[in-house]
Amino acid sequence: MKIAIVAPKAYPVFDRSAVDTFGGAEVALSLIARELAQIEDSDVHILVGE
């Protein structure tokens, strides 16, 4: 199963050196992506705006 999540403002969630701000939606999407990645035969990608 291939899953792509588009979250243009989620870059600071994954790069702590980024100075941009983010909100709860971006954090929730990152948590969902991590859970989906635990499923066997899944291929999860998050597209961020950086």
Digit-by-digit pLDDT tens for the chain (50 residues) are 999 999 998 989 888 898 888 889 999 999 999 999 999 999 999 999 87
Whether the Cβ atoms of residue 13 and residue 22 lie closer than 8 Å to each other: yes
Whether the Cβ atoms of residue 1 and residue 38 lie closer than 8 Å to each other: no
b or e along 22-42 (b: 16 or more beta carbons within 10 Å of the residue's beta carbon)? beeebeebbeebeeeeeeeee
- Number of structural domains in the chain: 1
pTM (two decimals): 0.77
Instruction: Tell me the residue range of the domain where 32 lies.
Output: 2-47
Helix or strand run (H / E) with residue 43: strand 43-47
